[in-house]
């Protein structure tokens, strides 16, 4: 009996992962797309139910409440959103997913801080990657959403010393991470590193024009997959690693296809406004 449940959970994960793969495949062709989406949703439900049965999950009440609240908000939002607002809706949802992945790392860091055991190196690296990718995805998606929704100007936002500031932040992240790898138990530094990641997400998307936002959202979608995968390494869960890697890789290919459809290269989409600051006035 004690072996039965864990085996069942792992097999459920295997089925769910297969459903994700078949679902993604079917989503790529018009005749089967709807069915593919449905299969992926079934896979997700299966994965969530299996996880609830994991032995380490001790308290259910609050988790079920959280799942219910999230489902309700998600369902209402999906009903209310206008058809024309779909790209920014996807961007918004994507940002929430990235935030969730980053929060998993922060929560796990906090949990490990509370225990007497030292934080192992591999867990530490996974958490830092998770916080970085998840953080950038969260704020980057929010800026993309705000641009498409017209909350902020859709034209590229540039300011003096933009590149040096970005480079400086990136260096700050690397230095902070390096420090944490040597001396892991330092919450303020960990939170500072998380803050830098959030800031980098904002600065990464600000200089990109509104017309290019769908490509950026696709790229951020790929990133949120990688963030989920990193979260999988944090809690050592194959389901998370597989699904995250699937989205990360397929999202990257899709981003490239979308660039090609616009006759642009990804590099020019991401960095064109850096080179000629202030010249381009073409808003989306």
Partner 1 sequence: MTEALIAALFVFVLASFTGFEVINKVPPTLHTPLMSGANAISGIAVIGAILVAGANQGRVSVILGLIAIVLATINVVGGFLVTDRMLQMFKKKEVKA
Task: List binders of partner 1 among 195-214 (CB under 8 A).
Answer: 214
Helix (H) or strand (E) holding 244: helix 238-261
Pick from 2, 7, 79, 84 the residue near partner 1 by CB under 8 A: 79
Q: CA distances (Å), 110 to each of 60, 101, 128, 178, 262, in order?
A: 21, 15, 13, 19, 44
Give the residue from 200, 133, 128, 201 showing the smallest Cα distance to 167. Answer: 200
Pick from 204, 233, 269, 272 the residue near partner 1 by CB under 8 A: 233
CB atoms within 10 A of CB 12: 18
Kindly state whether residue 181 participates in binding partner 1, applying the rule CB under 8 A.
no
Pick from 99, 146, 194, 200 the residue near partner 1 by CB under 8 A: 99
Kindly state whether residue 188 participates in binding partner 1, applying the rule CB under 8 A.
no
Kindly tell me the burial class for residue 97, based on how many C-beta atoms sit within 10 Å of its own C-beta (0-12, 13-18, 19 or more): buried
Minimum distance from residue 75 beta carbon to partner 1 (Å): 6
Kindly state whether residue 73 participates in binding partner 1, applying the rule CB under 8 A.
yes
Kindly state whether residue 238 participates in binding partner 1, applying the rule CB under 8 A.
yes
Pick from 6, 8, 74, 275 the residue near partner 1 by CB under 8 A: 74
Give the burial string for 136-173 (b: 16+ CB within 10 Å, else e).
bbbbbbbbbbbbbeeeeebbbbbeeebeeebeebeebb
Kindly state whether residue 124 participates in binding partner 1, applying the rule CB under 8 A.
no
Pick from 150, 253, 275, 279 the residue near partner 1 by CB under 8 A: 253
Kindly state whether residue 193 participates in binding partner 1, applying the rule CB under 8 A.
no
Minimum distance from residue 73 beta carbon to partner 1 (Å): 5
Kindly state whether residue 24 participates in binding partner 1, applying the rule CB under 8 A.
yes
Pick from 12, 97, 147, 194 the residue near partner 1 by CB under 8 A: 97
CB atoms within 10 A of CB 68: 10
Task: List binders of partner 1 among 35-64 (CB under 8 A).
Answer: 35-38, 40-41, 43-44, 47-48, 51-52, 54, 56-60, 62-63
> Does residue 120 come out as left (phi exceeding 0), alpha (psi in the -120 to 50 range) or beta?
beta
Kindly state whether residue 101 participates in binding partner 1, applying the rule CB under 8 A.
yes
Nearer to partner 1, 46 or 165 (CB): 46
Minimum distance from residue 184 beta carbon to partner 1 (Å): 16
Pick from 216, 231, 269, 270 the residue near partner 1 by CB under 8 A: 231
CB 228 within 8 A of CB 247: yes
Kindly state whether residue 270 participates in binding partner 1, applying the rule CB under 8 A.
no
Minimum distance from residue 20 beta carbon to partner 1 (Å): 6
Give the residue from 181, 187, 197 showing the smallest Cα distance to 110. Answer: 187
Nearer to partner 1, 59 or 281 (CB): 59
- Distance between CA atoms of 220 and 205, rounded to whole angstroms? 10
How many residues in the shown chain lie near partner 1 by CB under 8 A?
104
CB 74 within 8 A of CB 148: no
- Distance between CA atoms of 4 and 153, rounded to whole angstroms? 56
Nearer to partner 1, 101 or 272 (CB): 101
């Amino acid at each position: 009996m004690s072996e039965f449940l864990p085996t069942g959970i792992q097999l459920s994960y295997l089925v769910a992962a297969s459903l994700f793969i078949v679902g993604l495949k079917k989503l790529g062709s018009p005749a089967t797309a709807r069915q593919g989406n449905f299969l992926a949703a079934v896979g997700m439900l299966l994965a969530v139910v299996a996880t609830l049965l994991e032995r380490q999950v001790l308290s259910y009440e609050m988790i079920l409440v959280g799942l219910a609240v999230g489902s309700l908000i998600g369902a209402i939002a999906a009903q209310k959103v206008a058809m024309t607002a779909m790209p920014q809706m996807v961007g918004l949802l994507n940002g929430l997913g990235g935030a969730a992945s980053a929060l998993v790392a922060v929560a796990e860091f906090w949990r490990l801080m509370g225990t007497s055991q030292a934080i192992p190196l591999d867990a530490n690296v996974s958490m830092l990657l998770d916080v970085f990718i998840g953080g950038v995805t969260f704020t980057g998606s929010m800026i993309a959403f705000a641009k498409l929704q017209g909350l902020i100007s859709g034209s590229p936002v540039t300011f003096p010393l933009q590149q040096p500031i970005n480079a400086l932040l990136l260096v700050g992240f690397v230095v902070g991470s390096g420090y944490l790898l040597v001396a892991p138990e330092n919450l303020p530094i960990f939170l500072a590193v998380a803050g830098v990641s959030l800031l980098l997400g904002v600065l990464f998307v600000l200089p990109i024009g509104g017309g290019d936002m769908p490509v950026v959202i696709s790229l951020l979608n790929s990133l949120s997959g990688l963030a989920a995968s990193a979260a999988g390494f944090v809690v050592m869960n194959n389901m998370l690693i597989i699904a995250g890697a699937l989205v990360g890789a397929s999202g990257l290919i899709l981003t490239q296809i979308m660039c090609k459809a616009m006759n642009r290269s990804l590099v020019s989409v991401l960095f064109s406004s850096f080179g000629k600051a202030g010249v381009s006035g073409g808003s989306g």
